[in-house]
Amino acid sequence: MKIAFACDPLSGFKIYKDSTYAMMAEAASRGHELYVFGHGDLIFNGKDVLANVSHVALTGKTDAWHVQHAPVLQPLTEFDVVIERTDPPFNMEYIYATYLLELAELHGARVLNRPEAIRSHNEKLAITHFPQFIAPTLVTSDEARIRAFHEQHKDIILKPLDGMGGAGIFRVGNEGLNLGAIIETMTHHGLRTIMVQRYIPEIAQGDRRVLLINGEVVPYSLARIPQAGEVRGNLAAGGLGVAMAVTPREREIGEALGPILQKRGLMLVGLDVIGHYLTEINVTSPTCFQEITQQTGFNVAKMFIDAIEK
């Protein structure tokens, strides 16, 4: 197959942990051809959606790990599959890219995850589709409602709806220290909507990343365990990643959501689970392939490329 990855520049990849690299290496090992382009390379010329696409060959080395050829302008319909792997922030440029990729779909390209599905599943708000699995949650820009939620639950987490890697997340305990200032800053004095949730103390045992591939639960999750007094387990915030077999509760959530999200066009999903609660549904570029594989021996990239081939 000819597989094109919509991704960030390869020069920034850390191949010892990058999930997109794991996908590429597994695909290359089976003889598939690899191509890359960025969102900025997308073009609509009045008729077709094209991109400046570069052919890539992997060298098997750890330093000069790839050879990237000069880009060639090609219609996306020339590839067997386009895999969307561009990291957030999910800003307007990202949204514009999903519109162009969706137009390419209409012309016959196969894009995974589906652009419309990515756009429709805000990684924070998507959990509201499954209220039976979430902790007490409030979505609002209203200070009075946030204060009432804090008064009810005493210990809360406040998070922006467009953050990634744990950025911009605050915990406010029973004493309510700095709650007013945090609300003002996060909501821009009531102009921006945020999410507020009851604090889940099981975060001390890790924020667990549960991967779904084509609706199926990967049998191991990665617990991102907060370090040095942090409330955030995200690896980008210094969390320690420990791979573990999925718990019965994680499997219950994954098996309930997997077929639904797969039908919506989400082939690869990263669920975040703390204790018994679903906290996020990651659909842009879910990670943790390599950490799980390195610690358990289960080849996540193999499962993913198997699904792509099918």
Q: Is residue 190 part of a domain?
A: yes
Q: Which residue has the tokens 């077999």?
A: 245
> Are residue 6 and residue 61 in the same domain, yes or no?
yes
* Nearest one of 220, 222, 219 to 241, comparing CA atoms: 222
Residue 208 β-bridge partners: 223, 273
Asked, for residue 83, whether it belongs to a domain, the answer is yes
Relative orientation angle of helices 179-187 and 143-153, to the nearest 10 degrees: 140
Which domain CATH number covers 161? 3.30.1490.20
Q: Which of 209, 214, 234, 291 is catalytic?
A: 209
Q: Which one of 26, 84, 102, 272 is the catalytic residue?
A: 272
Does 232 participate in catalysis according to the annotation?
yes
Told to judge if 85 belongs to the known catalytic residues of this protein, a careful annotator would answer: no
Residues 30 and 100 occupy one common structural domain:
yes
Backbone angles phi, psi at 232, to 5 degrees: -100, 135
Q: What is the pLDDT of residues 3-12, one digit of tens each?
A: 999 999 999 9
Q: What is the CATH number of the domain that holds 227?
A: 3.30.470.20
Instruction: Return mean pLDDT, the chain.
Output: 96
Report yes or no on 208 lying in a domain.
yes
pLDDT value at residue 239: 81
Please identify which of the residues 26, 250, 280, 291 carries the catalytic annotation.
280
168 inside domain: yes
Q: What is the sign, positive or negative, of the torsion defined by CA atoms of 185, 91, 125, 192?
A: positive
Residues 6+ apart with CB under 8 A from 49: 42, 43, 75, 76, 100, 101, 103, 104, 107, 109
Catalytic annotation, pick one of 123, 224, 234, 250: 224
Please check whether residue 107 lies inside any domain of the structure. yes
Residue at a domain's end among 199, 219, 252? 199
Please report the pLDDT score of residue 12 as a whole number: 96
Q: Which of 113, 114, 282, 291 is the catalytic position?
A: 282
**Domain identity same for 104 and 162:** no
Q: Which residue among the candidates 114, 124, 198, 208 is catalytic per the annotation?
A: 124
Q: Would 209 be classed as within a structural domain?
A: yes
Active-site residue, 280 included: yes
User: Does any domain span residue 120?
Assistant: no
Q: Is the peptide bond before 113 cis (omega within 30 degrees of 0)?
A: yes
State the SS3 of 185-250: HHHCCCCCCEEEEECCHHHHHCEEEEEEECCEECCEEEEEECCCCCCCCCHHHCCEEEEEECCHHH
User: What's the whole-model pTM score?
Assistant: 0.95
Residue at which a domain ends, from 175, 199, 223: 199
List 159, 208, 214, 291, catalytic entry: 159
Is 113 considered catalytic here?
no
187 shares a domain with 209:
no
- CA–CA dist 128, 132 (Å, integer): 9
Round to whole Å and give the CA distance between 77 and 89. Answer: 27
| Domain around 42 | 2-112
How much is the pLDDT for 233? 64
Of 293, 310, 236, the C-alpha closest to 25 is 293
Do residues 166 and 230 share a domain? no
- The overall longest dimension of the chain from CA atoms, in Å, is 60
Mean per-residue pLDDT, 272-283: 97
* Buried-exposed string 162-201: b where 16+ CB fall within 10 A, e elsewhere: bbbebeebbebeeeeeebeebbeebbeeeeeebbbbbbbe
263 pLDDT tier (thresholds 50, 70, 90): very high
Domain membership flag for residue 119:
no
Counting residues of the chain whose pLDDT is more than 90, the rounded percentage is 93
Residue 208 appears among annotated catalytic residues: no
Q: How confident is the model at residue 111 (pLDDT cuts 50, 70, 90)?
A: very high
Known catalytic membership, residue 45: no
Q: Which of 26, 232, 250, 291 is catalytic?
A: 232
Q: Which long-range contacts (CB under 8 A, 24 or more apart) does 251-254 make?
A: 251/217, 253/130, 253/133, 253/210, 253/278, 254/210, 254/212, 254/217
73 & 147 share domain: no
* Least confident span in 20-29, 37-46, 227-236, 287-296: 227-236
Q: Both 164 and 179 in a single domain?
A: yes
Annotated active-site residue 124? The verdict is yes
> Same domain for 195 and 208?
no
